[in-house]
Amino acid sequence: MNTVETSSLQEFLNQNVVIDAPSQYVFLGQLTEVRPDGIVLEQADVHDLRDSRTTRELYVLDSATDGIRANRRRVLVPSDQIVSISLLDDVIT
């Protein structure tokens, strides 16, 4: 991540975020650290959409409504796997 990306993510620290990846994964959790090689989420849900019948959008909507279903205490999401990041609170339900 470059300096602009890193500084712009500071406002998301310690808040629940949604990370869209180019793969079939979606990541949800509390953003606790921004590193050059990626970002760290705690109490994270690493969800493989191939394991469910739902779409990315519906899964994120459900998480915004019902809460994050954490399956990892801590996870590093590599920079090259990040398409977008948004606050879970910004998901329109």
The pLDDT mean for the chain works out to: 91
Asked if 46 and 19 count as a contact pair (C-beta separation under 8 A), the reply is: no
Neighbours of 20 (CB within 10 A): 16
Q: In order of start, what are the domains of the chain with their CATH numbers?
A: 3-90 (2.30.30.100)
Q: What is the pTM of this model?
A: 0.89
DSSP assigned state of 55: -
Cα distance between residue 69 and residue 43, in whole Å: 8
- Does the pLDDT at position 4 exceed 50? no
pLDDT class of 3 with cuts at 50, 70, 90 = very low
* CA-wise closest residue to 84 among 56, 45, 52: 56
pLDDT digits (tens, 9 = 90+) for 25-43: 999 999 999 998 999 999 9
End-to-end Cα distance, the chain: 30
